[in-house]
Structure 1
Amino acid sequence: MNYKFDYDSTKVFTPGLIIRNIAPNQGGLITSMTEYKLRGYWKKYSITNETLIDKNTFKELSTSDTLFYTSPYHRSVTRKASTKSTGSNLATNFKYVFDFIPTFATSMSDGWDTYQSSCKSCDAIYSQRISTSGITTGGKKLAWFKRRICLLNARKNYVDYRRTNFMDPSNVYANAHLSAKNNADAAFKPILEMQDQFINAPIETTSWVNGKLASANFNSFSIQPRVESLGWSIIPNVFLNSINSIKLTIPLSASFQPSGNSNSTITKDSRYTPDYFYNSFNGRIVEQNKDGQPKDVYLWGYNQKYPVAKISNSDYNTAKQFVNQAILSNPASDAQLREELKKLYINLPNAQISTYTYKPLVGMTSQTDAKGMTTYYEYDAFGRLKYVKDQNGNIVKSNDYHYKN
């Protein structure tokens, strides 16, 4: 196996100037000045070449895997391509939250071309000045300093433009982004919210064989207010709402419409249909089900930190009405919580129910299965599992911990 990497750099650079006094004994008037550019770099692609040789026939099977990082908005893998010596070509394309930038932003100038044009103008004026007939050494030095002042003003104008449009607390981009989020539909709004929260979740994944679509998945998200506040602001919850796929009538498809967006809507291939559905509350999954199958419901306790019940063949709104959430959130004891959760078994006779209690930051202390049989877990002073007991208190498993010497 061998590996190859290639890197690219940002077009935007920070100009710098190194000045060194090379004749301190002469009053510091003789100096050396060197201009430089500071850039950022990132991985453009990485290639892994692997060759397998049959020890009997000496035939070779070669595979080349390439990971591409091509998005201008993030540094996650956007494409994985695999080529085999047998002739097959496999590829997987990835799209993430930050690949769905509102169209207004893609049309906004970043100010770089204007800045570069100003710098070229400074250089042209400088070249004209120093090529003037009869110019003295002092005149050339003055022309150089005037060039530096010209470049400084060009950089200042560029920084001011960037601050006004992208960086200041109330900038043009942020205001337009907020307007787009306020006017976005239910599918696009969560994506824009995740951009605000710097969550670059995968949205669309497509697999290809020899240039034809083999499979496609699209993740849809929903948004809801968070119950508790974080500091002075209330951050909305964004959660996975459904996983969608394209069910091909033939193994491979020559047609496909990649997902995209406008300022307010998401566009995607019309053949996507949902496979899995999810529902969340306050950042926790409370319902999930495969299309057409019974739901799995989760109730959370200990201030939303641990799942205390899993219920199959019911729904969240039905299940939660039979228990007191205040007891689930802050139980006085394991026994009190188990007694409260018994109400689920009584009121949901057609459901499959498992319930749990915990010692926070240590581990699970009991588990009651669908038959009502409870298993207990006890821990030692160091938080390590010591005993597993059945519903009658009999030890069915014991752990001893020994250290050298």
Structure 2
Amino acid sequence: MHLSYCTNVHPAEDLDGIIGQLDTYALPIRRRLKSDVLGLGLWLAAPAAAELAADPGKRKRLRTELDARGLEVVTLNGFPYEAFQAPVVKHAVYYPDWTERERLDYTLDCARVLADLMPDRASYGSVSSLPLAWRTPWDAERASAASRHLDELARGLDRIAGETGRTIRVGFEPEPGCLIENTTQAASLLAGVDTRWLGVCLDLAHLACAWEEPAGALQRLRAAGVPVVKVQVSAALQADDPVAAEDVLRAYVEQRFLHQTRSALGEAADDLDEALDRGLPGPWRIHYHVPLHATPVAPLTSTVPVIREALRHLLTAPGPRCEHFDVETYTWGVLPESQRPKDDAGLADGIAAEVAFAGDLLSSAGVAR
């Protein structure tokens, strides 16, 4: 099992910037955890991935810089294409989607890079990706284009394995508002893909927002033969009584990311301010990744109980187990002012606390340290 934290919380998008953030954040986090090795779920913007994929010398340089700091990479986040910490992201994070050649090229670039970054002891590498596309527009022509690209992706991963001896698998991440929002849709729309190379990245905040029961969701994927190749250990925001919590919820409205909101009654809004203005009936779960270890401002809570249940089922179910667990709280910079880190050291402290908390969750689910 590999535990990591996802670096899409940091804005660097070129090789020098990525190496610089290792010293600013990753190395201090490892030292705070008193660990010999810290896992990174590395995010590479598309231009950086292309640069590294084209130059073995640059891949070797990055691997050397990681090794020198006691850092390992077995998984890449290939969901955001670029500019993920821009002032406004919102729907832009879903483009290019799997109907476009650029998405295929970017994902294969990530796989080529990861094959050279992985430690020898890792049995496979993983790249997480968006769940095909935002839900609209979608028609037979776009579905056909996406299917062709998934077939090409599987063939490309097979080639990389033949050239490098390393297995890289891509997991499509169900997310609220997308074509694949839940495990029912994943089981249907990913049926027939080459599961040697392709599967699901299960984000536990998204699972909670879909109001899915972990046991049933995992059984659904197993029955469809769709493997979980990566788990994102993330917590969503929960409001049991949105009316009573409205003032507190307004503090979470911000302009960078979408915060899709789902009611237990089946009502949906594509952003938190829309849900508040429409008065969706509660309770709500909100696609707002909140720090794992920190309790949100009352009366809000988080979906950590869903994480506990999901990990228990993931780690006790029959069959092959997922080996990659990535803490993905990318929203530190847009939390309500009182909860944001004041500086780089404060962010490193917060991420270290999250990784420690995730380690405890895995331990309590039966994984030895």
TM norm structure 2: 0.24
Which structure: greater helix fraction?
Answer: 2
TM norm structure 1: 0.23
Greater RCO structure (CA 8 Å; 6+ sep): 2
